[in-house]
Each structure stands twice: as C-alpha cells, then as structure tokens.
Structure 1
C-alpha cells in the first residue's frame, strides 16, 4: 500500500513522517518525496491518527484520487529531473503520459486543479531547484548543469534561474559562499 502526502518535499519532512510512523508503530518501507510504501493497509483508526499527527507538521495525507495522481505526477517529474544524466530524453509530456498511463492533457488539468500552477511552471521551478543544488554541491560549470537539465542553452538556464531566484547562477553561488563564510567565521569566534 502507498500513502501519498501533500507538502512532503525535503529530508526534514521525510524524517518527520518516519518519526510519526515509528511512534504509531506502523511498519513502513521506502519513504520518498510525497509517498510512503507500507507492507499492509492501515486501519481506519491508524489512518486518522496519522493524518492528524501529520497535520501538526503542515503535511496532509491525501485521500482523493486526484490528490494521489497529483503526487504521482510530482514524483515522476522530480525523478526525471533528479536522475537525468544529460542524455537526450523524451519530452516531459510523453514521459508523464507513458509513466502514469493517462493522457497528458488530463494529467495537466488535474495538476493545475490541485496545485494552482501548471505542470510546466512546476517543471521550471523543480529544474531551478535542482540547478541551485548542483551549483552549490557540485564542482561543475553552468554549461554542464545546462546539459544535465536539458536546457536549450546556458542563456535559457540563466534566464529562468534569474527569473525564479532574482540572481544569476554565479551570483547565487557567490552569495551562498559569502553566507557560509560568515557563519564559519562566527563559529570560529565563539
């Protein structure tokens, strides 16, 4: 059985979900972005308790098919972005349709209805988040990031990056490095 959880996007959210499952003594398997695999079905009481406990962290347990499909779309998009190796791949619309077994227009309508933004907007935001991660954690050039994320050019990546963050990729990296140096210097003084 799979549980789909709204707003579960990062490691801290996954840790909170894991803690709640352990506290409620609910056996679980893989915990990923927006989804938890369980070996068994939950009782109505367990589901309600988990739902209420997750709400205290700002997380919402989906119970509708639209919400579940929305989380599957997000997971598929993030999977395609996160595990991209720069090799040419099919378009997001073809990938999503084939991966989830629905017409892309239907998926796009569900996504917009649940999230309030289009799939394309979400893809852009997700690609920029991945670009930020690569800029900060990998020692690779912007053109390599452009290649990995399937942008048509460095200018296109830089333009979208600046539109979303307000900074160029190099400006973003410089500011983050300065912030880290300030924190490091403060720790050394204390």
Structure 2
C-alpha cells in the first residue's frame, strides 16, 4: 500500500536527492519524489516513522503531520516549482495555477496561507521571483532586459521597481555588491 510523506524545506533537486538517499538507506521504496512530497511503496510503522523523522531533521528537513502545515508546504513547493524550475507562461494566472496544483479552491488556500504565514500567496510569489532574479543577476550571464523577459515582467522598469520595493536597492546596486544577500528558498 502506497503512502505519501510531506516534507518541509525540500526546495531543490539536491534536497530531493538527499531525502531519497535517507529513505533508500532505511530501505523504504520511493515511487515518486517531488518538492515537499514523497510517495513511498509502504505504510510506515510508528517506529520507522520516528526514525525517518529523525534522519530528515538531521539534514534540515521536517516531516509534516499537521494537515495545515502540509498544505502550506504544498503551496510553497508549487510556487518554487513555477518560479525556479519551469519556464512560466506569461499568461499564467497564479490563483488558477495554485488551485489546479493542489486541487482545492484558491480562496480557502489563500485564507489558510495568510493565517499561517502572515503573508499573502501573492507576496510569497513575488518574494520567490525576486530571489530568482537575484540568482540570475549574480550568475552575470543575462542582461536585465533578458532577465525581465525570462521572468515574465512586463518591462525592465517593472522588474526594477518591484526589486527595489522588496530589497531596498536597485538591481544594479545589488549586482555591484560583493556580499551574497540571497536567501535560502525555504526561508522566504
């Protein structure tokens, strides 16, 4: 019988590999590993669940048991996926995307997210986009115009305005900084 584990702080492909490695070490068959969610080929006994939880915590992950926290993690994972790992569609409607990904009404998801995190889904989405822009700026491979195009901003001016609102500095000032002021995705 298959079961699903919900895991907090899975934000990248390396995280997926680390979680899969822990489960393999514990001889748990993984059927599918996604950001924040792993489908395994068995039900976990209480003892094995405790071991999995401890092993994951040692790597900075958290096994989620609370349904509300699971839903928040799923929303965050969906946003990370669209911002960092997929070429997003310029016509993307965030509420439709989130609702489709989680197969729930957006209004209830939005209310829950705001209650639990103290931030709207839209603000979280913008924060993730700005972190991705910071990453692209630091890579120094694309011009700001190319970054704006890739990230589906209507213009460089819109990107710059949103960047300054979130970070307090212009993209050019950020690029000139030597210090790394990027945030880990799981802390946004």
TM exceeding 0.5 = yes
Bigger drift between 43-52 and 131-140 goes to 131-140
The answer as to whether partners of 2:28 and 2:41 remain within 8 angstroms in 1 is no
Question: Which residue of 2 is the match for residue 43 of structure 1?
Answer: 45
Question: CA offset at residue 136 of structure 1?
Answer: 2.6
Question: Which residue of 1 is the match for residue 176 of structure 2?
Answer: 174
Question: CA offset at residue 139 of structure 1?
Answer: 1.9
Whole-Å separation in 1 of the counterparts to 2:22 and 2:6: 15
Structure having greater relative contact order (Cα 8 Å, sep ≥ 6): 2
- After TM superposition, the score normalised by the length of structure 2 is 0.78
- After TM superposition, the score normalised by the length of structure 1 is 0.77
Tell me which protein shows more helix as a share of its residues: 1
Check 1:156–1:53 CA distance in 2 against 1; reply closer, same or farther (3 A cut): same
Question: Which residue of 2 is the match for residue 142 of structure 1?
Answer: 144
Whole-Å separation in 2 of the counterparts to 1:83 and 1:23: 27
The answer as to whether partners of 2:11 and 2:80 remain within 8 angstroms in 1 is no
Question: CA offset at residue 17 of structure 1?
Answer: 2.7
Whole-Å separation in 2 of the counterparts to 1:97 and 1:32: 18
Corresponding residue pairs, total: 178
Question: Which residue of 2 is the match for residue 79 of structure 1?
Answer: 81
Question: CA offset at residue 118 of structure 1?
Answer: 1.6
Can you give the 5+ residue segments of structure 2 that lack an aligned partner in the other structure? 181-188
Q: Note the aligned Cα RMSD (angstroms).
A: 2.6
The answer as to whether partners of 1:87 and 1:148 remain within 8 angstroms in 2 is no
Question: Which residue of 2 is the match for residue 162 of structure 1?
Answer: 164
Can you give the 5+ residue segments of structure 1 that lack an aligned partner in the other structure? 180-190
Bigger drift between 156-165 and 100-109 goes to 156-165
Question: CA offset at residue 103 of structure 1?
Answer: 1.6
Whole-Å separation in 1 of the counterparts to 2:52 and 2:89: 41
Deviations 1:158-185 (A, max 9, x none): 2222333343223323324x88xxxxxx
Whole-Å separation in 2 of the counterparts to 1:81 and 1:10: 12
